């Protein structure tokens, strides 16, 4: 069996770290990096830290508008898919790298396997929602992280190839060691700081929302640690909002995976619009305030493990001051990577 895997953005390198090593025990895997994320701190760091195999192909597409970026990826992927002729194309999540791989494979009639299938925010203004819906509807094997995701696919008429695999991010989190010296090196005390991440287009490209978030952070009791996505750094600079953050907000560069898990696990609260970070923090039992109006991880909100707080200053402050939420028990009967790799073996 030959599997061709497409990755391109930070959370995909992290997910590949779970699947690729297991896949390579007996399977020929070709790894393609689209180049959607290219800064060393958004890409190389994860390959090195998590032992993700080096990509066989690097498309270097870089940043562009959605149409332009997706088109560049597709024209880079098509000749590779034709040359490699894989038995199946493996895709993760909901980025433009995911969608481009799905479209090219489907048109070449190569089967598509989608890890993290069935998640929905029901907000079609969100680029990720378009990417995940379209990918699921051309996928042949759909690996669902939650029961809700599998039920959603059923409601959309997708019944074949739906597998309840569990969440590969949970598997990695369970085996990740913390870095004990990290907090002292940042002069932070356990349970005495907030952790923030922001990168969603709906927040970075909407000045009202960005101002709401900045205002709330400036008003919260510090220290607040913010490993800043390059997109957000650019927007804050352009909007001249960087100085409005105030002295309690410590802006740092994006950090590695183990550093991030260490920071999440010791925080007194996590404010984020990231899918991965909200899930990890909830699993670690840390209160999560989701800086969005909806989430695709609805189970967290339904079970009271995360709170939707939008991007409105008053709403964010009010929620953070009221905190405690229930931790999500992190338990896996079977490793999602085992279920996924076994299923691929069975079908291809
Ligand atoms: C992308 C995904 C999003 C995912 C996120 C993970 C899409 C539509 N979005 O969002 O689903 O949650 O990755 O982090 O695929 N930039 C750099 N250096 C980099 C990468 C990006 O400076 O290495 C800057 C560029 O200005 C770029 C902007 O960030 O225009 C946005 O990058 P892009 O990959 O388009 O979207 P993300 O917000 O990272
Ligand atoms: N992450 C990281 N360093 C950071 C920010 C996030 O290692 O500075 C990790 C985080 O722990 C999670 C993943 O990146 O595992 C989430 O990626 P991101 O927030 O970029 O994307 P999303 O999950 O929203 O698609």
287-334 residue pLDDT tens: 999 999 999 999 999 888 899 999 999 999 999 987 666 666 677 889
What tens-digit pLDDT sequence spans the chain (348 residues)?
999 999 999 999 999 999 999 999 989 999 999 999 999 999 999 999 999 999 999 999 999 999 999 999 999 999 999 999 999 999 999 999 999 999 999 999 999 999 999 999 999 999 999 999 999 999 999 999 999 999 999 999 999 999 999 999 999 999 999 999 999 999 999 999 999 999 999 999 999 999 999 999 999 998 999 999 999 999 999 999 999 998 999 999 999 999 999 999 999 999 999 999 999 999 898 999 999 999 999 999 988 889 999 999 999 999 998 766 666 667 788 999 999 999 999 999
- Residue 327 has a pLDDT of 62
- All residues at 6 or more sequence positions from 124 whose CB lies less than 8 Å from its CB, including other chains: 130
* DSSP labels, 286-331: --EEE-SS--S-HHHHHTTSEEE-TT-HHHHHHHHHH---PPPP--
CATH architecture of 2-166+333-347: 3-Layer(aba) Sandwich (3.40)
Look up residue 201 and give its two tokens. 């287009």
Every domain of the chain and the residues it spans: 2-166+333-347, 182-322
- pLDDT tens figures, 221-231: 989 999 999 99
Distance, CA 224 to ligand 1 centroid (Å)? 23
CA angle 273, 276, 279 (to 5 degrees): 95
Rounded distance from Cα 93 to ligand 1 centre (Å):
14
What are the residue numbers of the active site?
199
- Out of 2.60.120.620, 3.30.365.10, 3.90.550.10, 3.40.50.2000, which CATH number does the structure's domain 182-322 have? 3.40.50.2000
What pLDDT sits at residue 330? 75
Which of 38, 199, 237, 291 maximizes ligand 1 atoms within 8 Å of its Cβ, making it the mutation to test the pocket? Answer: 199
Ligand 1 atom index nearest CA of 274: 12
CB 132 within 8 A of CB 106: no
Going by alpha carbons, the residue nearest to atom 9 of ligand 2 is 257
Contact 272, 291 (CB under 8 A): yes
Distance CA 73, CA 89 (A): 15
Q: How far apart, in Å, are the Cα atoms of 276 and each of 126, 244, 247?
A: 16, 27, 28
Where are the strands (E) in the chain, listed by range? 2-7, 28-33, 57-58, 88-92, 112-115, 141-144, 162-164, 194-197, 224-227, 249-252, 269-272, 288-290, 306-308
Q: What pTM did the predictor assign?
A: 0.97
Which of ligand 1's atoms lies nearest the C-alpha of 230? 22
**Ligand 2 probe mutation, 41, 251, 274, most atoms within 8 A of CB:** 274
CB environment 273-291: b (16+ within 10 A), e (fewer): bbbbbbbbbbbbebbbbbb
Answer yes or no: are the C-beta atoms of 313 and 152 closer than 8 Å: no
Decide if 2-166+333-347 and 182-322 have a common fold: yes
């Amino acid at each position: 069996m030959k599997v061709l895997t497409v990755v391109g953005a930070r959370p995909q390198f992290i997910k590949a770290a779970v699947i690729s090593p297991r896949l390579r025990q007996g399977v020929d895997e070709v790894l393609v990096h689209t180049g959607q994320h290219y800064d060393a701190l958004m890409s190389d760091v994860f390959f090195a830290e998590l032992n993700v195999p080096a990509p066989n192909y690097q498309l270097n597409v870089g940043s562009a508008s959605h149409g332009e970026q997706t088109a560049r990826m597709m024209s880079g992927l098509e000749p590779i898919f034709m040359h490699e002729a894989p038995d199946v194309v493996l895709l993760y999540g909901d980025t433009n790298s995911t969608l481009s791989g799905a479209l090219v494979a489907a048109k070449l009639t190569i089967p598509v396997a989608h890890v993290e299938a069935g998640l929905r925010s029901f907000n079609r203004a969100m680029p990720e929602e378009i990417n995940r819906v379209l990918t699921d509807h051309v996928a042949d094997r759909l690996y669902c992280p939650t029961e809700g995701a599998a039920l959603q696919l059923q409601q959309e008429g997708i019944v074949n190839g739906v597998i309840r695999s569990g969440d590969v991010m949970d598997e990695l989190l369970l085996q990740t060691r913390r870095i004990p010296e990290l907090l002292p090196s940042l002069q932070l005390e356990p349970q005495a700081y907030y952790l923030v991440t922001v990168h969603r287009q709906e927040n970075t490209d909407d000045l009202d929302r960005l101002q709401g978030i900045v205002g709330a952070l400036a008003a919260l009791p510090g220290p607040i640690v913010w490993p800043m996505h390059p997109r957000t750094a650019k927007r804050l600079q352009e909007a001249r909002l960087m100085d409005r953050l105030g002295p309690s907000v410590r802006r740092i560069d994006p950090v590695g995976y183990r550093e991030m898990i260490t920071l999440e696990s010791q925080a007194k609260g996590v404010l984020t619009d990231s899918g991965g970070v909200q899930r990890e923090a909830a699993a670690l039992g840390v209160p999560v305030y989701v800086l969005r109006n909806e989430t695709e991880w609805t189970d967290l909100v339904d079970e009271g493990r995360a709170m939707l707080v939008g991007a409105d200053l008053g709403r964010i402050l009010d929620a953070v001051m009221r905190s405690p939420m229930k931790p999500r028990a992190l338990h896996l009967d079977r490793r999602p990577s085992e279920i996924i790799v076994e299923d691929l073996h069975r079908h291809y």
